[in-house]
Chains A and B, each alone.
Chain A
Amino acid sequence: SQQGEEDPQALSIQEGENATMNCSYKTSINNLQWYRQNSGRGLVHLILIRSNEREKHSGRLRVTLDTSKKSSSLLITASRAADTASYFCATIHPNAGGTSYGKLTFGQGTILTVHP
Chain B
Amino acid sequence: EAQVTQNPRYLITVTGKKLTVTCSQNMNHEYMSWYRQDPGLGLRQIYYSMNVEVTDKGDVPEGYKVSRKEKRNFPLILESPSPNQTSLYFCASSGAGREPQHFGDGTRLSIL
B59 touches A100 (CB 8 A): no
On whether the beta carbons of B101 and A101 are closer than 8 Å, the reply is no
Q: How many A-B residue pairs have CB under 8 A?
A: 75
Binds A, one of B13-21, B44-52, B65-73, B79-87: B44-52
B49, closest chain A residue (CB): A102
The answer to whether A42 and B42 have CB atoms under 8 Å apart is: no
Known: A40-B106, A42-B105, A100-B50. A30 touches B43 (CB 8 A): no
- B12 contacts the other chain (Cβ, under 8 Å)? no
Please tell me if the beta carbons of B100 and A45 are within 8 angstroms of each other in the complex. yes
B40 near A108 (CB under 8 angstroms)? yes
Residue numbers in B under 8 Å from A2 (CB-CB): 41-42, 44
Q: Is the CB of A31 within 8 A of B98?
A: yes
Please indicate the chain A residues that have their CB under 8 angstroms from the CB of B88 in the complex: 40
- Say whether, besides A106-B35, A108-B40, A42 and B50 are in contact (CB < 8 Å): no
Contact indicator per residue, chain A 1-45, by CB within 8 Å of chain B (1) or not (0):
110100000000000000000000000001101010000111111
Given known contacts A40-B88, A41-B106, A106-B35, is B41 in contact with A48 (CB within 8 Å)? no
Closest chain A residue, CB of each to CB of B41:
A108
CB neighbours of A95 from chain B (8 A): 56
Taking the closest CB of chain B, its distance from the CB of A109, in whole angstroms, is 5
- Chain A residues lying within 8 Å of B97, measured Cβ to Cβ, are 92, 100-104
In the complex, the 7 A-B pairs of residues with the closest C-beta atoms, listed nearest first = A42-B103, A102-B97, A45-B100, A108-B42, A106-B43, A101-B98, A101-B97
Q: Which residues of A contact B (CB under 8 A)?
A: 1-2, 4, 30-31, 33, 35, 40-45, 48, 88, 90, 92, 95, 100-109
A to B CB contacts below 8 Å, 25 in the list: A2-B44, A31-B98, A40-B88, A42-B105, A43-B43, A43-B101, A44-B103, A45-B100, A45-B101, A48-B99, A90-B43, A100-B97, A101-B96, A101-B98, A102-B31, A102-B33, A103-B48, A103-B56, A103-B59, A104-B48, A104-B58, A104-B101, A105-B45, A106-B43, A107-B42
Given contacts A1-B59, A40-B106, A103-B97, 7 further A-B contacts (CB under 8 A): A42-B4, A42-B104, A88-B43, A100-B97, A102-B48, A104-B97, A108-B40
